[in-house]
Amino acid sequence: MRNWHGVALAAAMLAGPVAEVLAQAPAGFPNRPVRMIVGFPPGGTNDIIARLVGQKLSEQVGQAIVVENRGGANTAIASEVFVRSAPDGYTIMQVAPGHATNPSMMKLSFDPIKDFQFITVAAESQNLLVLHPSFPPRSVKELIEISKKRPGDINYGSSGIGTTVHLSAELFQYMTGVKWLHIPYKGAGPAMFEFFSGTFVLYFGNLPSVIQHARSGKLRGIAVTGAKRSAAAPEMPTVAESGVPGFEVTTWYGFALPAKTPKAILDYWHGEMVRTINAPAMRESLVKQGADPVANTPEQATAHVEREMAKWSKVIKAAGIKAQ
């Protein structure tokens, strides 16, 4: 058995050629289509990333990777379906930040750590604070000034309660003292449709799904949410440098297998995903989407989820956020 820990660490740092990561497949595996469950409707960033990775994986393993969208409850509905799946390697789930925030907001029928075997965090990205063109502010400073003059009178949308889109806005309000009205939707696709129609005027969208709209002028991008500027959108300042020091939110895209999946199958899928993520064409596609490739180890992915759960539990408690 190969030492995937060392392989993935090296692969994660590659900026050029693909890492030569070859996994020994269990005998005859896979010999039929593989299901990839995504906890959001089609059209959002999670769906885009899942389909990019799934298409490349399909080419590599010689079997169809069928994306199954199970939106609702900030990925909890998808997780309930997933944990009932046979641990045979033919069901993969895309794991998003909601996986780490749900335990603080709702009672779950599954354990977010023990019922999952995390394969890898494939990529991560920032959110971009975008405004409807009809809304006057052109900077974070102007947004704060106008918001303080109109407490509770400005609507912001999100792709769901507990998503980083939602929590970015909650953290912003907490750190600046402004008060907005939240309008949640069941996924980024429905939220963006309503955003363009003017139902709300402010949105912390995942960078991959909104950057082109900002560059085209359909929306007004004013700041990214990371600790430093994004390589995918270097023209956008950070919220922190724009007047809210210490503000930082990132989103991430991981993959998992059901608990009790044999280690040989976990190692196989990890190796294939590392190859997929670090292929030059895939890296280019992810960067164009505003996402930075990660491709870490199963152990590192698990630790990441645990850290996210601890971090956001504090924010959720302070904001009094409850799932609907």
pLDDT score, position 22: 52
Angle at 57 between CA 213 and CA 63, to 5 degrees: 125
What span, in angstroms and rounded, lies between the C-alpha atoms of 118 and 305?
9
Grade residue 23 by pLDDT with cuts at 50, 70 and 90: low
Average pLDDT of the residues in 234-254: 94
Which range among 20-24, 100-104, 201-205, 307-311 shows the weakest confidence by mean pLDDT? 20-24
Looking at every residue in the chain, the average pLDDT score rounds to 89
Look at residue 231 in the predicted model and tell me its pLDDT: 78
Q: What is the pLDDT of residue 187?
A: 83
Burial class (CB in 10 A: 0-12, 13-18, 19+), 88: middle
Q: What is the mean pLDDT of residues 196-210?
A: 93
**Residue the block writes with tokens 């999946």:** 261
User: What is d(CA 204, CA 244) in angstroms, rounded to the nearest whole number?
Assistant: 15
Quick: pLDDT tens for 27-63. Answer: 889 999 999 999 998 988 889 899 999 999 999 999 9
pLDDT of residue 324: 63
Q: What is the pTM of this model?
A: 0.77
pLDDT band at 318 (very low <50, low <70, confident <90, very high): confident
What tokens appear for 209 in the block? 């799904």
Check residue 12 and give its pLDDT.
Answer: 40
Residues facing residue 220 across a β-bridge: 131
pLDDT at residue 309 greater than cutoff 70: yes
Give the mean model confidence (pLDDT) for residues 115-143.
97
**What is the mean predicted confidence (pLDDT) over 227-255?**
92
- Which of the four pLDDT bands, split at 50, 70 and 90, describes residue 220? very high
Q: 19 pLDDT band (50/70/90 cuts)?
A: very low
Q: Is the pLDDT of residue 280 over 70?
A: yes
Looking at residue 133, its pLDDT comes to 97
Separation between Cα atoms, residue 323 and residue 17, nearest integer Å? 43
Q: What local confidence, expressed as pLDDT, does residue 312 receive?
A: 84
Q: With helix as H, strand as E and coil as C, how does the chain read? A: CCCHHHHHHHHHHCCCCCCCCCCCCCCCCCCCCEEEEECCCCCCHHHHHHHHHHHHHHHHHCCCEEEEECCCHHHHHHHHHHHCCCCCCCEEEEECCHHHHHHHCCCCCCCCCCCEEEEEEEEEEEEEEEECCCCCCCCHHHHHHHHHHCCCCCEEEECCCCCHHHHHHHHHHHHHCCCCEEEECCCHHHHHHHHHHCCCCEEEEEHHHHHHHHHHCCCEEEEECCCCCCCCCCCCCECCCCCCCCCCCEEEEEEEEECCCCHHHHHHHHHHHHHHHHCHHHHHHHHHCCEEECCCCHHHHHHHHHHHHHHHHHHHHHHCCCCC
Per-residue model confidence (pLDDT) at position 18 = 38
Strand partners, 291: 125
| Residue-range domains of the chain with CATH | 4-125+250-319 (3.40.190.150), 127-224 (3.40.190.10)
pLDDT in tens, 74-111: 899 999 999 999 999 999 999 999 899 999 999 999 99
Across the chain, which distance is largest between two alpha carbons, in Å?
Answer: 66
Residues near 291 by beta carbon (within 8 Å), at least 6 away in sequence: 45, 49, 123, 124, 125, 207, 208, 232, 253
Mean pLDDT of 203-208: 90
Q: Which residues pair with 117 in a beta bridge?
A: 257
